[in-house]
Homo-oligomer: A and B are copies of this chain.
């Protein structure tokens, strides 16, 4: 275990082998209404937790987890293997983030977001979960994933969400779909489609993407993701 300086480890943080935990990290912080040690934090083997990261108690996180500096992960999330949450990004509560998801820097992942395997979320992406915030019904009703009023977006397998995009509540981004940088996504994105703009509209199919530098043949740009 490599442990940085001034690390704050709360009780009941269970961390696997081969950890790198950098300076000023906080692990297992009790959320509002809980005492130190009441909720467990479980992190698998070989995590790399970079400086200033804050991970609350009540999370179950798989192997090879990585964070960027100052990432913040609130309570009650389920996070798979080989996931990374980038510098300055926030994951709120109740999210389901599956294997090999990469969330880049300064993102906001709202409560009850579902992000499926291999999805890639660019820097500064914002997810939302309430159509008319701050709706009192948000707190008084059980969350309904994928429902347009309440709550979190669903980002399906292999989807790519470009930098600075904003995803409206309950929106489904289909499998292998691509959301262009800066897009504001107000409607479902069908699998394999590319959307851009505000509001986001389909501009092409993923199979029609072209690589200007010739690393990939036309139609093969994301072919490596489908295996």
Contact = CB atoms under 8 A, between A and B. Distances in A.
A128 B123 contact: yes
A164 B164 CA distance: 8
Interface in A131-146: 131-137, 141, 144
B137 A215 contact: yes
A131 B212 contact: yes
Given A6-B6, A147-B213, A181-B168, A221 B132 contact: yes
Interface residues of A, number: 69
Contacts of A52: 52, 54, 70
Number of copies: 3
Nearest to A178: B132
A124 B163 CA distance: 12
A135 B52 CA distance: 29
Interface stretch (A11-19, A37-45, A104-112): A104-112
B131 A122 contact: no
Nearest to A221: B132
A221 B131 CA distance: 10
21 contacts: A4-B8, A6-B6, A6-B8, A8-B24, A24-B26, A29-B51, A69-B72, A70-B70, A72-B88, A108-B163, A123-B128, A132-B160, A135-B215, A137-B211, A137-B215, A144-B213, A149-B212, A149-B213, A150-B213, A163-B166, A182-B198
